[in-house]
């Protein structure tokens, strides 16, 4: 087949073979790009239902445009060969990736599941069911990007094809949903079941059921789902819960949409503790270098408590700081709140009539004292009717006593100002205390 041209593509080499056909690496001559060319197996070419199913694969997958879905470029029939031209994926299957590596870290498993769920949600929105989800139908590129492929058994819900009504079992029994086994109508919840089985395979590297075809089918229909913790005690609780919900026997008991699966994964990705994370958060190409954790993952309430503890500590420190500042303020207030003598700065002298002075002198004589804007003038008979004040010069700082007669008229204004200083001669002596 090498160098043979089919559908405008020159075959380079064979890269795989499945139940429905053979896949070749090829070159699309019109665009000069590398593609994957899938040819329907020759034994099926003459069978009308297989031919229709092959064409349906192309039409179904071509309706899905998403980074996690292998893109379909062209389809047709040439020289009695049904062909499918699709995106070439440089990588390996998820099945090989899982089996060739140690256990995957919880975060990487959650990211793988999210990529698969987002791809199948795009199919779900277009009423397309894959019907054959399994690790070997998922590619991981060299860059770590997941690609869901082989919608060969996909069935558009809005079509009227009855190909599955012939009694033939389409799909892989190990990953098949109970309703698909029973030949009932299926929707995206069937793919949710199959994806849940893929999760079990990631957690344990084993399929949940084993035995011959009949035994496996009966286990899907009648047996309770095995607990992945039995084989992998380090299975995270949140992935275990998701697995059990995805693989419920009744479709109505599962997640009802892949959108719900994505939401649940996102919610738990935020809760994964730092010791379960790898530096390559989204690089699936570096998958799986984490050893099993020694400690079991905390339950949801414990995780919530751990997540909230930093904010509680921060609030405690803030309140402690505020309380400390308050105590310091109270102490400082107590130390400096004692009433100190009032010191009034000097102002230019303002002439005032003798009538005003005489009025103040009469008040002193009558009451014995008078409050002049904060300075208490006191009459003292022992001092021959003279009123003494202690004054301080604002220029040289000299403290001295002054009599009533020596006060200037400005004494009776808002700011008290007395005569000039005995020491420096400046007229900057102000009243700081009255003397009885």
Residue located via tokens 């292998």: 70
Region of residue 255 (left: phi > 0; alpha: psi -120 to 50; beta: else): beta
SS3 for 142?
coil
C-alpha closest to that of 116 among 55, 201, 227: 201
- Name which of 62, 134, 52 is nearest 96 in CA terms: 134
What is the Cα–Cα distance from 370 to 379, expressed in whole angstroms? 9
The Cα–Cα gap between 182 and 167 comes to 10
The residues assigned a catalytic role are: 132
Residues 6+ apart with CB under 8 A from 92: 139, 140
Can you give the C-alpha Rg of the chain in angstroms?
46
Q: What is the DSSP-derived secondary structure letter of residue 73?
A: E
* Strand, helix or coil for residue 209: coil
Residue 10 class from Cβ within 10 Å (0-12 exposed, 13-18 middle, 19+ buried)? middle
d(Cα 214, Cα 195) in Å, to the nearest integer? Answer: 21
């Amino acid at each position: 087949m090498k160098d043979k041209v089919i559908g405008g593509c020159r075959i380079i080499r064979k890269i795989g073979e499945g139940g429905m056909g053979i896949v070749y690496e090829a070159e699309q001559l019109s665009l000069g790009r590398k593609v994957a060319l899938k040819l329907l197996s020759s034994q099926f070419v003459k069978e009308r239902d297989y031919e229709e199913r092959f064409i349906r694969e192309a039409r179904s997958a071509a309706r899905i445009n998403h980074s996690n879905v292998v893109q379909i470029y062209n389809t047709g029939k040439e020289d009695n060969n049904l062909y499918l031209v699709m995106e070439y994926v440089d990588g390996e299957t998820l099945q090989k990736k899982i089996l060739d590596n140690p256990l995957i870290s919880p975060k990487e498993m959650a990211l793988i599941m999210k990529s698969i769920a987002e791809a199948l949600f795009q199919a779900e929105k277009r009423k397309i069911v894959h019907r054959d989800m399994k690790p070997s139908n998922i590619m991981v590129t060299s860059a770590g990007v997941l690609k869901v492929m082989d919608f060969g058994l996909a069935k558009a819900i809005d079509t009227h094809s009855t190909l599955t009504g012939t009694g033939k079992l389409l799909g892989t029994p190990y990953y098949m949903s109970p309703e698909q086994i029973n030949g009932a109508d299926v929707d995206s919840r069937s793919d949710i079941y199959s994806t849940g089985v893929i999760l079990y395979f990631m957690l344990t590297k084993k399929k949940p059921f084993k035995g011959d075809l009949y035994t496996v089918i009966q286990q899907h229909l009648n047996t309770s789902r095995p607990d992945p913790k039995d084989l992998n005690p380090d299975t995270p609780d949140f992935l275990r819960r998701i697995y059990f919900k995805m693989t419920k026997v009744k479709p109505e008991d599962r997640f009802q949409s892949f959108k719900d699966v994505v939401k649940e994964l996102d919610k738990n990705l935020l809760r994964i503790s730092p010791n379960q994370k790898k530096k390559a958060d989204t690089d699936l190409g570096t998958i799986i270098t984490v050893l099993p954790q020694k400690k079991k993952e905390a339950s949801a309430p414990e995780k919530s408590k751990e997540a909230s503890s930093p904010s509680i500590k921060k609030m405690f420190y803030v309140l402690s700081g505020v309380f400390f500042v308050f105590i310091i303020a109270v102490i400082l207030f107590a130390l400096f709140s004692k009433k100190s003598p009032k010191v009034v700065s000097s102002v230019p002298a303002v002439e005032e009539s003798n009538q005003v002075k005489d009025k103040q002198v009469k008040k002193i004589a009558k009451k014995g004292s008078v409050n002049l804007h904060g300075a208490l003038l006191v009459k003292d008979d022992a001092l021959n009717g003279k009123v003494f004040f202690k004054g301080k010069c604002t220029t040289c700082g000299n403290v001295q006593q002054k009599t009533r007669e020596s006060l200037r008229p400005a004494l009776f204004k808002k700011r008290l100002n007395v005569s000039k200083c005995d020491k420096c001669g400046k007229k900057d002596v102000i009243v700081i205390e009255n003397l009885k």
